[in-house]
Amino acid sequence: MARALMSRSRPAMVAATGLSALAGLAQAASLAWPGTGQPVWWLQWLSMLVLAGLLHHLRPSGRQGAWLGFSFALAWLCGTFWWLFISLHTYGGLAAPLAAAAVLALAAFLALYYAAALWSFCKLAPANKALAAMLFAALWLLAELVRGTWFTGFPWGAGGYAHVQGPLASLPRWVGVYGVGAVSAGLAMACVQCRGSDLRRWSTWVAVLAVVAVGGWAALQRHCAVELCYTPSRAPAPPLSLALLQGNIPQDEKFEEGSGVPLALQWYAQQLRSETATLVVAPETAIPLLPQQLIPGYLEGLQARYTEGAQAALVGIPLGNARAGYTNSVLGWRPSSPSSTPGMPSGGAAEPVYTYSKHHLVPFGEFIPPLFKWFTAMLNIPLGDFNRGTVGQASFEWAGQRIAPNICYEDLFGEELAARFADPAQAPTVMVNFSNIGWFGNTLAIDQHLQISRMRTLELERPMVRATNTGATAIIDHRGVVTHQLERHTRGVLRAEVQGRGQGVSVDGGVTPFAWWASRWGLWPLWCAGLLVVCVAWVARRRGPAPGGYSRPLPFGME
């Protein structure tokens, strides 16, 4: 009998594994649909619905549940950041099989978190339908938090990013992107459990009411909450006129002395001298050399252009020296007295009035993790161990705005950007992202990063300005709407205006609930909420689930 049951479980699990992987690919596509680059919120929710349906109807063992979670996450993550292959193979010189294996290994390692989450669900899920849905959401939340924080964190492609538009787009201001992903997972499990349930059971009605309440509240908030919760006590500063520079320097030439370096130095200097906008922004490492490597007078001339005029500029450049270490930084110049800046050599190089240094460094790109020097030795990429800047660095104050820079994938960590909102009186009014996505070619990485920036604007309700080397150079308003965008992989300047948010507001200083709690406690409130639900479910399971619960005999497999 056991042998027959196991034989029937194999084809069922093979089919379930395939369906789980397809759902994972759907989740990957939902973050930025191929061809349009737009998020598809309903597809993300549908992928979670399929995964929840497999768990609910198959009632798999812990091991089988872990396998379903692993296959879902492996397909999802490979389908999300497959473009890492380009940086490793095309620009890094790593053999194609090794590059593909490296991407697969990274995805497989991260997929283990979701395997653990679904193993735990199969072991702990109680008969109470509402609590089971909450447990599924909590475990999914914890898996996302682990991926986003452990080993420096790599939360690229979290499911919540698909909801920068749609009925759940009002939730980021309250719970952030991880909370949105958890709500989506919980609603999916609740819907699955409602189907075919006994309407006489109170837990079924709780699940139904939860779906209706959350969906209705989120839709209502999307239309009115942002404006109703923001009441200026005085007229805001006038819009800030911008010139965003996109050099489109080919990545394979960007750091080459005979091609990309002179092209970048010449083109960016020309634009910085000729633009008339109130603020001119050049992307990450727009100036690809250290100040002491530049020809005499280059940096001094640019600084004089802005410190003696009526404009300001923010420019990406590496700083430092061999003794003090190096940083991936942004220099800011404005009409004010220059101040001495750490990392700048004394005598000869210009002294900026503002410096921002990147805090969250990219593994293998800006620092080499322990035990991995053997891997980086195989890559033909200019790697280095950069120093970290501090969290919550001061904003660049100009034209009545407090402008908060972040570099590259720093905008992937909303809790770190929120640290600048601890004091509402000094909270940023505009955020600026400096990026170079040229490492990943003309791929969906550009679109995915744009959706990430959109999510930060929803969480913090501040506009995000993006200056990039190849795209997407864009302006996103505080509602997460892309108002202006330069055509990607072209050399040009995006000229537009942005209206800052948060100047002189009453009651809460224009700080969202997410910014308020994340600036004080980071992601700990989400950790605590997820663990609390898991503990409650564990207690409920220990007391013994009712007949028909998740501990009933398995129809398709055995422990």
Q: Which residues are catalytic?
A: 284, 358, 408
CA 31 remoteness from chain centre? 11
On whether the CB atoms of residues 494 and 473 are closer than 8 A, the answer is yes
Residue with tokens 């679904």: 118
Q: Do residues 311 and 332 touch, judged by C-beta distance below 8 A? A: no
d(CA 81, CA 104): 10
Buried b / exposed e over 532-548, threshold 16 CB at 10 Å, is ebbebbeebbeeebeee
Q: Could you tell me if residue 509 is left (phi over 0), alpha (psi between -120 and 50 degrees) or otherwise beta? A: left
Report CA-CA distances (Å) from 93 to 89, 375, 382.
5, 12, 12
Which residues fall within 8 angstroms of residue 368, CB to CB, at 6 or more apart? Answer: 376, 383, 385
Cα 16 versus chain centre, distance: 30
Nearest Cα to Cα of residue 279 among 412, 402, 368: 402
For residue 274, count CB atoms less than 10 angstroms from its CB and return exposed for 0-12, middle for 13-18, buried for 19 or more: exposed
How far is 412 from 500, CA to CA, in rounded Å? 21
